[in-house]
Amino acid sequence: MGCLNHWSQMRGPWWGALSLLLLVSLVATAPQTTWAQEAEVVEEEAAVVEEAAEPAAEAPAAETVAEEETQSTTEDAVESEAAAPAAEPTAPALIAANTSWMLTSSALVLFMTAPGLAMFYGGLVRKKNVLGVMMQCVFLMGLMTVIWSLYGYSLAFGDLDAKSKLKPYIGGSQYVMMNEVARSWDEEAGAPVEHMWPDPVSGWLPLPAHMLFQGMFFIITPALICGAFAERMKFSSMVVFSVLWGTIVYCPLCHWVWDAGILGFATTDSIKDGSAVAWSGGALDFAGGTVVHISSGVSALICALVIGKRKGFGHDDMRPHNLTYTVLGAAMLWVGWFGFNAGSELASDHLATSAFATTHFSAAAGLLGWVLYEWLTHGKPTVLGAASGLVAGLVCITPGAGFVNLMPALAMGFAAGIVCAFACSKVKGAFGYDDSLDAFGVHGIGGTLGAILTGVFATRAAWNIDNGNKLGLIEGESRVFIGQIVAVVVTWVFSIVATFIILKVIDAVMGLRVSEQGEVIGLDQSQHGEEGYIFT
């Protein structure tokens, strides 16, 4: 999301050797199979001393019984030693493992918003606005959590009657006010009721864990949009916009893609038997290419166009005030993104490991792609370019993290670094819009590129999601690729129209921008009455 607004004149051909070192991180998992211990055999010898004389016929009988008992004991010992089967993980063990990973992933995604995004954006604005943009990120952590608990989770994942015509478009009231999510008491059983999330891939997961994880996405998505209207939107307007946008745009999109809606992936079998409701077979979106990045990026562009440019844009000095904040924030985003992508498997298994690895590879390649682009066009590699590039790589791999293999992840990340760098410099410069922190250039463009490339590189080897049927163009199948294009177009159109209407309504009712004087002195003072830096 780095600002590459003002490029110097293209220098002559760059001479010298350019050395780029790719760091390959091996993600290993330890086998979790538990082997039964070998049985120990204890043989006891019994000596029977008989003082009284017994009939001669009983002595051979006693010897025969003793021999049979000894033989039986020996055979049992041999069978016990030979039979040492692997113990299958029990359901409670699987639930515990999945729950542990999902709670960790939830914390990692929350970590992305603050301090990650707060520091990343905070460093990119001018110093008079650093608290303003950080406050937006932190405040949304509280606001969106409350909205999610009241009705957001239900709109996204709540169930409707199977016969309802609205079922493919929006969730029902099932989880309103955390109904059927929070533990309840069963009088007949005399015990609390545990509500579980049934997933066809990962098995069972406590419903509160699923709710929390998805809620972290609900927090960070509107926070990403804040980068487009940074330094000029009223805080009160930002609050209202985030609530309306999360309700009207995010929740329906989430339902469409991740709760068997009109954009959810449909298997070949479901298409053949007529049970599929998805348009054009739906789309593959592992962790939010459409739901999070395209929607927020495209909405960010509309925000920038509707609210207008910052005062002095194009001639005043608007360089980032603290790139050390930005690069540290980018590093935090990199770490948090492992929970964002690998956690989207909803289980601790091999697919989560693969998503973890593709995420890391794409981030590394995105960093190199952006730096290479600016090195060849601007003459120098920059820290801002490295930070922006790694985020572009992370955005691009998000929809395909669990569907593509490791080496295609490198290609996707590298392409994202170059394409997003071009969008943030040449495209933004040509059209002249003021996307303050390049939310559209990185998330809108990077998410779109990632969704399309997922249709190219998706493979059964990564995830056999369609019962052995081919997936991406790399396997010679076009159905998934077409579905990705349809999902991208639908997300773009829906986000543009809905965001435009929301902004216009807010502007008419309460206004969007701070006053001119408030913008000059900065949002820290005009909106919050504070200063980010006080030097005495």
How many C-beta atoms lie closer than 10 Å to residue 328's C-beta? 17
283 in helix, strand or coil? strand
In a domain, 3, yes or no: no
Structure tokens at 484: 């990705």
Q: How far apart are CA 227 and CA 224, in angstroms?
A: 6
The predicted structure's pLDDT at residue 279: 81
The predicted structure's pLDDT at residue 89: 55
Query: 205: burial class by Cβ within 10 Å (0-12, 13-18, 19+)?
Result: buried
The helix (H) or strand (E) run that includes residue 203 is strand 203-206
Q: How far apart are CA 343 and CA 340, in angstroms?
A: 6
Q: How far apart are CA 16 and CA 23, in angstroms?
A: 22
The predicted structure's pLDDT at residue 163: 80
Segments of the chain with pLDDT less than 50:
1-66, 68-70, 73-85, 200
In a domain, 54, yes or no: no
DSSP letters, 350-396, are HHHHHHHHHHHHHHHHHHHHHHHHHHHHHSS--HHHHHHHHHHHHHH
In the block, residue with structure tokens 């002249």:
432
β partners of residue 299? none
Q: How far apart are CA 292 and CA 303, in angstroms?
A: 16
Q: How far apart are CA 258 and CA 239, in angstroms?
A: 26
Q: How far apart are CA 131 and CA 138, in angstroms?
A: 10
Would you give the distance in Å from CA 190 to the centre of its chain? 38
* Nearest residue to 212 via CA among 310, 109, 303: 109
**Residues contacting residue 374 through CB under 8 Å, at least 6 positions apart:** 4, 380, 381, 382, 385, 421
Q: Report whether 433 contacts 304 (CB < 8 A).
A: yes
CATH number of the domain within which 347 lies? 1.10.3430.10
Locate the DSSP E strands across 1-84: 34-35
The predicted structure's pLDDT at residue 273: 87
In a domain, 250, yes or no: yes
In a domain, 400, yes or no: yes
Domain of 391? 97-528
The predicted structure's pLDDT at residue 366: 99
The helix (H) or strand (E) run that includes residue 87 is strand 86-87
How many Cα atoms are found within 13 Å in the side-chain-facing hemisphere of 171? 27
Locate the DSSP E strands across 149-202: 184-186, 191-193, 196-199
Q: Report whether 486 contacts 279 (CB < 8 A).
A: yes
β partners of residue 35? 86
The predicted structure's pLDDT at residue 198: 73
In a domain, 42, yes or no: no
| Average pLDDT score, the chain | 87
Q: How far apart are CA 186 and CA 83, in angstroms?
A: 42
Strand 191-193, strand 184-186: pairing: antiparallel
Structure tokens at 29: 């998992």
Q: How far apart are CA 437 and CA 326, in angstroms?
A: 11
In a domain, 67, yes or no: no
Q: How far apart are CA 118 and CA 211, in angstroms?
A: 23
The predicted structure's pLDDT at residue 88: 52
In a domain, 435, yes or no: yes
In the block, residue with structure tokens 């050395």:
19
In a domain, 512, yes or no: yes
In the block, residue with structure tokens 């007949």:
188
Domain count along the chain: 1
The helix (H) or strand (E) run that includes residue 44 is none
How many Cα atoms are found within 13 Å in the side-chain-facing hemisphere of 103? 10
Structure tokens at 406: 């490791």
In the block, residue with structure tokens 């002095």:
312
Residue 472 one-letter amino acid: G
